[in-house]
Amino acid sequence: MLKELNTKRQDLKAASEEAKEKRNGLNAEASTLAAKRNELNKRTKELINEAQEYKKLRDENNEQVKENKAKRDEINAKANEVFAKVDALRTANNLTGPSIKDIRKDIDRLEFTQQTEVLSPSKEKELVNKITELRKLYVIKKDQLESNTELKNLLTEAQEIRDEASTFHNVLSEYAQKAQEYHDKMISTFKEADKMRAESDAAHKQFVEFQEKADEQHKLFIAAQKEIRDIDKEVRKIKKGEDTGGKKVASMEDVRKDAEDIFDKFKSGEKLTTENLMVLQKSGLL
């Protein structure tokens, strides 16, 4: 009987140590995964804060776009009023047709073509005639414009207003470009945060799996330890029954083993009876 109990105790001891080793290994893996998850969560939070800052900057720049657009449109409306007066004055003075500015642009364009492109004699003659006609028209328009002070003043006023509107348009474009840049950064950072969050969720899932497996091994360890204590108790009873003279008086070794068993139960959370306390006191553990 004692041999069978000792064999069983050895098997349980080996199973207990194996479960303990597996539990500790799984807990170590779970701890590593928890640290990884926490680091990923921290990085995710930082990225979200960064993306929110980009969003704030984007919105601020968009607000500037809105304000400068309103100013530009308001000034362009004034310029349109002046140009309407110019058109009415041209019609009244029979000055319709291309503006002197457009004529000058056409002359410059044709002269550039003449200087930079290789043309056949007929094409070059046609081009020269066209330039000559435009120069004559330019002189006529210029004389008409310079002789009409009111028209000249209105054109100058309209151009000044257009220039002012262009200033606001340029500022508007700068803010719009910055807003787009911050928007792109915001989107990119939010995507990176989503990726980090997904990695964190995966790490947490693995952490839970390892923790559950560790708990299973811990239960196996506790169960094996309990069986070992039960076997030790049974062995002590058998040895007591075999005591010389048939006396069942426990030796100090038996008392100490009982005390250790009681102390293990106490550490596991079990309450101690008065008898238990006496055994602990007798063994010297209390």
Q: What is the DSSP string of 52-63?
A: HHHHHHHHHHHH
* Confidence (pLDDT) at 87: 77
Distance CA 222, CA 58 (A): 60
Instruction: Return the number of other C-beta atoms located less than 10 Å from residue 11's C-beta.
Output: 13
Encode pLDDT of 187-242 as tens digits.
999 999 999 999 999 999 999 999 999 999 999 999 999 999 988 888 888 888 66
Encode pLDDT of 12-68 as tens digits.
999 999 999 999 999 999 999 999 999 999 999 999 999 999 999 999 999 999 999
Residue bearing the bigger pLDDT, 212 or 256: 212
Give the position of tokens 């048939």: 246
Give the position of tokens 């799984």: 26
The top-level CATH class assigned to 1-243 is mainly alpha
Is residue 34 within 8 Å of 207, Cβ to Cβ? yes
From residue 74, alpha-carbon distances to 88, 156, 191 in Å are 22, 19, 40
Residues of the chain within CATH 1.10.287 domain(s) are 1-243
* Confidence (pLDDT) at 249: 45
Encode pLDDT of 68-99 as tens digits.
999 989 998 998 888 788 778 777 766 667 77
Q: Nearest 5°: phi and psi at 173?
A: -65, -40
